[in-house]
Structure 1
Amino acid sequence: MKVLVPVKRVIDYNVKVRVKADGTGVDLANVKMSMNPFDEIAVEEAIRLKEKGVATEVVAVSIGVKQSQETLRTALAMGADRAILVTAADDVHTDIEPLAVAKILKGVIDAEEPGIVLAGKQAIDNDMNATGQMLAALTGWAQATFASELTVEGDSATVTREVDGGLQTIKVKLPAIVTVDLRLNEPRYASLPNIMKAKKKPLDEKTPADFGVDVAPRLEIVKTAEPEARKAGEMVGSVEDLVSKLKEAGAV
């Protein structure tokens, strides 16, 4: 069984995000970029499926700017077998919208015919949490979102999902789209030998036109602003004072 893993290049989660002075977007100048953490978990799970003998090949795919090659090389260094880069933008500030990404992934799926797609539940830059669901709709495949446990047996997968009320376990028929959550696994670090080997692994380059997809944005970002600074707290002398203050504020 082939596993397809979409990965996205985003600002590293350790970096403090800065908004441009004119409010037109996030400043990406000289900012460290990394693989989306949820996608990293998806890559790790795909590699574990291969190590268990469930999967035969792991293919990573990224849709974005040319620099996304670095993200794909990271996936290859972790253990993916080959990669596909769909260059859909020239400007690093251009974010391809979820529907366009899903349409391109549908084209990749038609060409690659994977048995399962493992994707991060969302990207930490736009927090859309929509691509996996849209992809399931386009393919007509079953979907299991927010996966914290995954077991693949035969032609089905059992997935434990993290939901508001706790945990939900479902069984879906393959092929399927599974989006992963933080508690699914702990991604491995790529060793230096594997990083060197990754440079020789196949990386195919495509364009949205190869899949007949128009990536022109349908949304317009009107303004980007940093959140308001947190206001200083107020010290109280006793529990009675605290209750009084809360009553004044209408909190109780």
Structure 2
Amino acid sequence: MKVMTAVKRVVDYNVKVRVKADQSGVDIGNVKMSMNPFDEIAVEAATRLKEAGQASDVIAFTCGPAQCTETLRTALAIGADRGLHIQTDVELQPLAVAKLLKAAVEREQPQLVILGKQAIDDDAGQTGQLLAALLDWPQATFASAIDIQGDKITVTREVDGGLEVIELPLPAIVTTDLRLNEPRYVTLPNIMKAKKKPVDTVSPTDLGVDPAPRLKTLKVVEPAARKAGVRVADVAALIDKLKNEAKVI
């Protein structure tokens, strides 16, 4: 079975993001970048399937500028066999990424595509669902456990009321939640091995996809500073402030 997983280069989750002075977006100049944490879980899941003998080939996919190759190499160091980089400097939105992924899937013909449920930069959480719609494949989102038996995959999903277990025929799309696994530490020997693994670089034009953005960002602003809390003497005073100041009751 061939498995494809997608990774995204984002601002590291330990970094406090800054808004550009002109409010056109987030300042990423001289900022540490890393793989989206949910995508690390997806790559780990694909690697474990290969180690269990259920996957024969794991392909890591990314799209974006030339620097995204570094993120792709991290996926190869975790355990992916080869990489596919769709290189473009265009601002990529979820629909464009899904279209590029669809073209990559049609090119590689995997039986399973595993993605992180969302990226920590835009928190859109749309790419997996859009890809499933474009391919007309079954999907299971927010997976906390997966099990493959023959040509079917059983996925345990995290939902508001607890857990939901569903069974899908392959090929299918799965998006990962935090509790699916804990990604392994990438060792130096594996980083060195990853440098020798093949990475195929193509452009959106090569795949016949127009990645032009459909939405326009008007401005980006930092959230309002949180006001300091106050102490109240008793419950009556608390209710008075909630009703007359906060106006939430």
In structure 1, what is the equivalent of residue 62 of structure 2? 62
Between the aligned partners of 1:167 and 1:225, the Cα distance in structure 2 is: 36
Between the aligned partners of 1:117 and 1:3, the Cα distance in structure 2 is: 6
Query: What whole-Å deviation, never above 9, does each CA across 1:143-195 have from its counterpart, x for those lacking one?
Result: 11111111111101111111122211110100000011111110011111001
Query: What whole-Å deviation, never above 9, does each CA across 1:196-250 have from its counterpart, x for those lacking one?
Result: 1111111110110111001111111001000000011111233443344334344
In structure 2, what is the equivalent of residue 160 of structure 1? 156
Once the two structures are superposed, the pairs formed by residues 108-147 of structure 1 within 5 Å of their partners are 108-147=104-143
Give the RMSD, CA atoms, in angstroms.
1.2
Between the aligned partners of 2:243 and 2:33, the Cα distance in structure 1 is: 46
- Between 1:49-58 and 1:159-168, the stretch displaced more is 159-168
In structure 2, what is the equivalent of residue 53 of structure 1? 53
In structure 2, what is the equivalent of residue 193 of structure 1? 189
> How far has the Cα of 1:48 moved from its partner?
0.6
* Secondary structure at 2:40 match in 1: helix
Asked if 1:173 corresponds to 2:176, the answer is no
Query: What whole-Å deviation, never above 9, does each CA across 1:23-42 have from its counterpart, x for those lacking one?
Result: 11100110000001110000
Long gaps (5+) in structure 2? none
- Between 1:25-34 and 1:98-107, the stretch displaced more is 98-107
Between the aligned partners of 1:142 and 1:88, the Cα distance in structure 2 is: 29
- TM-score normalised by length of structure 2: 0.96
> How far has the Cα of 1:3 moved from its partner?
0.6
Q: Which amino acid aligns with 1:69?
A: T
Moved over 2 A (4+): 237-252
- Whether the 8 Å contact between 2:91 and 2:212 is mirrored in structure 1 is no
In structure 1, what is the equivalent of residue 13 of structure 2? 13
In structure 1, what is the equivalent of residue 216 of structure 2? 220
Between the aligned partners of 1:121 and 1:20, the Cα distance in structure 2 is: 27
In structure 2, what is the equivalent of residue 25 of structure 1? 25
Q: Which amino acid aligns with 1:64?
A: G
Q: Which amino acid aligns with 1:207?
A: S
> How far has the Cα of 1:95 moved from its partner?
3.1
> How far has the Cα of 1:99 moved from its partner?
1.3
* Secondary structure at 1:86 match in 2: strand
Long gaps (5+) in structure 1? none
- Percent identical: 62
Between the aligned partners of 1:247 and 1:131, the Cα distance in structure 2 is: 41
Between the aligned partners of 1:170 and 1:181, the Cα distance in structure 2 is: 15
- TM-score normalised by length of structure 1: 0.95
Q: Which amino acid aligns with 1:20?
A: K
Asked if 1:37 corresponds to 2:37, the answer is yes
